[in-house]
Amino acid sequence: MAKTSKPRVHEIARDLKVNSKDIIDRLGNCGIQLKNHMSTLEDDQLSLILDIYTQLHDIGDTPLDSFKPNHKEKSIPEKATKEEPIIEQKAEPIQKKVRYVDTRQTVVELDKIESIERIEELVPENIKLDDMSKKQKSGKKPFKSKQPEEVSRPKVQEMPKKEVPKEVTVPDGITVGEFAQKISKSAAEVVKKLMMLGVMATITQTIDFDTASLIAEEFGITLIKEVILTKEDILFQEEEDKPEDLVPRPPVVVVMGHVDHGKTSLLDAIRDTSVIDTEAGGITQHIGAYSVRLNDRDITFLDTPGHEAFTTMRARGAQVTDIAVLVVAADDGIMPQTIEAINHAKAANVTIIVAINKIDKEGANPERVKQMLVEHDVIPEEWGGDTVCVEVSAKKRINIDGLLEMILLVADMKELKANPNRPAKGAVIEAEIDKGRGPVATVLVQNGTLKVGDIVIAGTAVGRVRAMINDKGRRVKAAVPSMPVEILGLSEVPSGGDSFHVVKDEKLAREVAEKRKQEKKETMFNSAVKVSLDNLFSQIDAGNMKELNVIIKADVQGSVEAVKQSLEKLSNDEVRVRAIHGGVGAINESDVMLANASNAIIVGFNVRPDAGASAAAQRQAVDIRLYRVIYHAIEEIEAAMKGMLDPKYKEVVLGHAEVRQTFKVSGVGTIAGCYVTDGKITRNGQIRLIRNGIVVHEGAIESLKRFKDDAKEVSESYECGIGIEKFNDIKEGDVIECFVMEEIER
């Protein structure tokens, strides 16, 4: 027979000394249908036959009992001898296996079958091939074929060449088949090992790295995790700084505190410049960053707004800072925003220095402030804690230098260091569109040195730094760690709080930015779809809560976050305010379309709608509200919410009656003999009992009589008897006030 020809059933049957029908039946039980004894056999079918009859030969259950291998090396009988006890012990399971193969189309009790049999059911061909290859490796020959070279040589020649690697690299997840291929093992072997570990898996199922490691150990192979790098990973690849490359850097300080406690005045005193006049409504509208110098050392201050509406921005500021100066008024003490500031600083693991301000005012009590600090786990140094407290007066410029010295002292203890000799990275503090200069971002360099000409990526913005301006308004060519600068040259306005990196590959940076932009759009689109799927003008499914959707546009990113935080704080049990979109720049048609689709109102802060947006808003009846002061926005949105609230009631006083005598009636209680001084007293009204100007009781009228007759109401200048429901402590001289609750428009 030529090497290329395939053996037929009757030829194999003759070599195995069995009839052709037996082979056809056994293959039929395995799901392989052959027509007759002249059918040709594929390699995998041939291997399956060899595997079946080799197994039958092993347990002495077929005519192959008399078959003797041609090879008579000593190693084969020795191995057979070693395996003999095992075969005897497992004789029963293996016999069952034979019955299982023969009755494959019938019901089989799987729980009584050994694990190796269940593997055969899951992946019959692979396992059988694997078992066959093992038997061939062991030196056993199941039969003597007339074409031994054609049938067995390919497998005998291929298997020894397959070297098992000592180390293999695989990703976090890999299919059983792929893993088997990588470690140069058959899938059946891997599946068997998984079964021994209690993991039921097929060839196409995925296993994790840890599971794959356990299997690899069984085969004496070391597994190395393959790290799949994304474009972002490739773009931001960087080495860790060596200790010898690190040099001290200035501390970055954030000033926090309750509104009106003098935070801005303190910064003003520190910088010795005034920023108060430029603020609308007394609130710092934008975050800024400033450097001050003391004893030839720099300190960088981040100016975060102190109003509670800016909680998000304050938290963001704390994340890029080393020290938080907590301003507390000596005459006022700890307030809600002070507590928020403490919590944000602690969450960001920022060291707190307390500046007790306004010590020059009457009623100033620093010791009381320290006591209140202790109640919030901020223990002053002089009380055995580790928090530095400095008494200052921003207005009178008292002990400002002392505060700065303590900041530097705390910074020395923290050993703040950075490596200036590397590409810069840091955080975007603020960003805005300047009509003359385009997108402008204030950034804080946290490590490395930022230079003019560097390629920068910040969020979805990419660009080459055209110019840098420091906090004094001067152009600079380089910015070292902890130095805040304004940069020009970005493609768009980044978001406050975005991290920025200097990169070498501008093309790759733009690809990463585009991917981020696409992800952002998808998120926004999905959000918008979710909002508009249900009834836009009625209650949402979450209980009886209604939702007021808002789109926020502002001149700077900081204001977007500020307005969003302010409005979302207006949410209550009945109405939830939800900012579905926020952005920097003029209100455009896209914003109006989103508002129309989501039944939202548009809030503009220091921006105006363009012509197209105004026309679209008028056409689609979209409400656009424009503001310059945050408080006005809060007030108007509250007014808008009132239309969504359930009816509210107000109290309307109907009249007053003076108690001139009291009567005790058995079975009824105390009756007040009254004189109606003004208005009227009605039977269905509610009353409150007033004694010496103090409300003693509030309730309902149980009985109202005019002489002995029941009355619906008694008018001014008439006498009456009043019984109060479930209340008897009525005294002469008391005043009974009658009122009703009337519904009012919200």
- 150 vs 16, higher pLDDT: 16
pLDDT at 129 > cutoff 50: no
DSSP string of 532-560, one letter each residue: HHS-SSS--SSTT-EEEEEEEEESBHHHH
pLDDT at 317 > cutoff 50: no
pLDDT at 427 > cutoff 90: no
- 657 vs 230, higher pLDDT: 657
- 122 vs 567, higher pLDDT: 567
Q: Indicate the angle between helix axes 20-29 and 91-102, nearest 10 degrees.
A: 90
**Residue 276, number of CB atoms within 10 A of its CB:** 11
Average pLDDT of the chain, as a whole number: 75
pLDDT at 514 > cutoff 50: yes
**CATH 1.10.10 holds for 167-225:** yes
- 506 vs 719, higher pLDDT: 719
* Domain 167-225 identical in fold to domain 534-642: no
Residue 343 confidence (pLDDT):
75
- 574 vs 315, higher pLDDT: 574
pLDDT tens column, 26-64:
888 887 888 788 888 887 888 888 778 777 765 444 343
* Mean pLDDT of all residues in 580-594: 86
In the chain, the percentage of residues whose pLDDT exceeds 90 is 12
Confidence grade of residue 255 (pLDDT, cut at 50, 70, 90):
confident
Q: 444: which strand partners?
A: 427, 484
Torsion on CA atoms 256, 261, 263, 264, rounded to nearest 10:
140
Confidence grade of residue 117 (pLDDT, cut at 50, 70, 90):
very low
Torsion on CA atoms 618, 622, 627, 631, rounded to nearest 10:
150
- 456 vs 632, higher pLDDT: 456
* Mean pLDDT of all residues in 736-741: 92
Under DSSP, the state recorded for 436 is: T
pLDDT at 276 > cutoff 80: no
Helix residue ranges per DSSP H, 551-629: 557-568, 589-598, 611-620
27/13 Cα distance (integer angstroms) = 13
* Mean pLDDT of all residues in 155-179: 71
- Most confident among 131-140, 290-299, 458-467 (mean pLDDT): 458-467
pLDDT at 655 > cutoff 90: yes
- 153 vs 705, higher pLDDT: 705
Residue 336 confidence (pLDDT):
74
Residue 23 confidence (pLDDT):
87
Residue 646 confidence (pLDDT):
54
Residue 736 confidence (pLDDT):
95
The domain locations on the chain are 9-160, 167-225, 250-415, 534-642, 648-744
User: Which among 518, 598, 505 is positioned nearest to 232, based on CA atoms?
Assistant: 505
**CATH architecture classification, 534-642:** 3-Layer(aba) Sandwich (3.40)
299/345 Cα distance (integer angstroms) = 18
Residue 353 confidence (pLDDT):
92
Q: Which fold has domain 250-415?
A: Rossmann fold (3.40.50)
pLDDT at 536 > cutoff 80: no
pLDDT at 21 > cutoff 60: yes
Confidence grade of residue 643 (pLDDT, cut at 50, 70, 90):
low
* Mean pLDDT of all residues in 605-627: 85
Half-sphere exposure of 449 (CA within 13 A, CB side): 12
pLDDT at 479 > cutoff 70: yes
* Mean pLDDT of all residues in 380-401: 86
Question: pTM of the prediction?
Answer: 0.47
What's the CATH code, domain 648-744? 2.40.30.10
Confidence grade of residue 398 (pLDDT, cut at 50, 70, 90):
confident
Evaluate whether 449 touches 420 at the Cβ level (below 8 Å). Answer: yes
SS3 72: coil
Residue 641 confidence (pLDDT):
63
pLDDT at 68 > cutoff 50: no
* Mean pLDDT of all residues in 203-218: 87
Residue 654 confidence (pLDDT):
93
Torsion on CA atoms 387, 393, 395, 400, rounded to nearest 10:
-70
Q: Indicate the angle between helix axes 589-598 and 611-620, nearest 10 degrees.
A: 20
Residue 280 confidence (pLDDT):
43
206/188 Cα distance (integer angstroms) = 15
50/29 Cα distance (integer angstroms) = 15
pLDDT at 682 > cutoff 90: yes
Tokens describing residue 666: 């058995």
pLDDT at 78 > cutoff 50: no
